[in-house]
Amino acid sequence: MRPDQLGDLAVFAAIASDCSFTRAARRLGVTQSALSQTMKRLEGQLGFRLLTRTTRSVAPTAAGERLLATLSPALAGLDDEIDALSQARGAPIGTVRITTGKHAADTLLWPMLPSFMRRHPGIEVEVCVEGEMTDIVAGRYDAGIRLGERLEKDMIALAVGPPLRVAVVAAPSYLSDHPAPLEPADLTAHRCVAYSDAHGNLSPWSFEREGRAVTVKPGRGPVFNDGDLLVAAALEGFGILYILEDLVAAPIADGGLTRLLEPWCAPFAGYHLYYPDRRSTTAFELFKETLQAGRTV
């Protein structure tokens, strides 16, 4: 389509809607002669007639009707978008695309998103919850949220959450038949409920006490890639579980799970917002500021 044809097509739609050159000219604030010249030029460029004219009426041709079926909704959509932009004049607009894991989505993103979206209706938010790290550049994300220890060194990373802590837990029914581990190394002899990614890689169990860091391979047991199933399996007594402590706070409190090796479960750096460079949109800057400000703004 030629750059000057959009205005001519809008004139055609107006004439077809009013079924009259006179009424369309009055509504558009131009002369009938100007509308006639516009239609003559447009039909000449297209190579087919759009309007049938008689002394008493104007109506679209079959080709004109077919074109109007696409043109009218498109023009209406443009009018609606222009109205929306006019009403939001000065307000930030754009899209923010974020990739994150489920725990961060539940504990960091969702607490701040409702108020953020209400305050900035012109900003579209897209959140993709994924279990594995994602290439945010290839995926065309503005940023991701993950634990700081898992980030690539070439990323800009900002802490957006408090320190986290893991809990090692087991059901009383499991501990009634198995001695409680006294050291992380004891876990290799136990049945353990483990987390696995989509490629079958088990998440490592890391511990720290008084500056001493230890990573152990958990003993064999059921493997899941879902937090709810991990907790459910531990509650049923299928083995020892290593998991973020807030996910098992309730069953620990009510006695459904017993905490183990607590002195070895030191706090560690929590979630970070990471992105590839400092060039960003106004929409993303507002999102970042809100997340950093405490996730309740």
Q: What is the pLDDT along the chain (297 residues), one digit of tens a residue?
A: 666 788 888 888 988 888 888 888 888 888 888 888 998 998 888 889 989 887 677 889 999 899 889 888 888 888 777 766 655 556 788 899 999 999 999 999 999 999 999 989 889 999 999 877 778 888 889 999 998 766 667 788 888 989 999 999 999 999 999 999 999 999 999 999 999 877 777 888 999 998 899 999 998 999 998 899 999 999 999 999 999 999 999 999 999 999 999 999 999 988 999 988 766 788 899 999 898 886 433
Distances (CA, A) of 225 to 79, 118, 164, 218: 48, 33, 20, 15
Beta bridge partners of 244: 166
279 and 248 co-located in one domain: no
142 and 223 co-located in one domain: no
**pTM metric for this prediction:** 0.65
- What is the SS3 assignment for 198-237? CCCCECCEEEEECCEEEEECCCCCCEECCHHHHHHHHHCC
257 and 221 co-located in one domain: yes
CATH number at residue 79: 1.10.10.10
CATH number at residue 155: 3.40.190.10
CATH number at residue 172: 3.40.190.290
274 and 198 co-located in one domain: no
Residue 195 and residue 225 in contact, taking contact as beta carbons nearer than 8 Å: yes
Check the CA dihedral 283-284-285-286 and report its sign: positive
Sheet order of strands, 156-159 included: 123-129, 94-100, 143-147, 271-275, 156-159
Q: What local confidence, expressed as pLDDT, does residue 177 receive?
A: 93
Residue 112 and residue 295 in contact, taking contact as beta carbons nearer than 8 Å: yes
Structure tokens at 246: 């807030």
98 and 83 co-located in one domain: no
The count of structural domains within the chain is: 3
State the helix-helix crossing angle for 5-18 and 32-46, rounded to 10 degrees: 120
Residue 221 and residue 196 in contact, taking contact as beta carbons nearer than 8 Å: no
Strands 271-275 and 143-147: antiparallel
Q: What local confidence, expressed as pLDDT, does residue 150 receive?
A: 62
Q: What local confidence, expressed as pLDDT, does residue 1 receive?
A: 63
110 and 238 co-located in one domain: no
Give the domain range for residue 109.
Answer: 92-162+270-294
d(CA 5, CA 38): 10
Best CA proximity match to 199, nearest among 102, 132, 121: 132
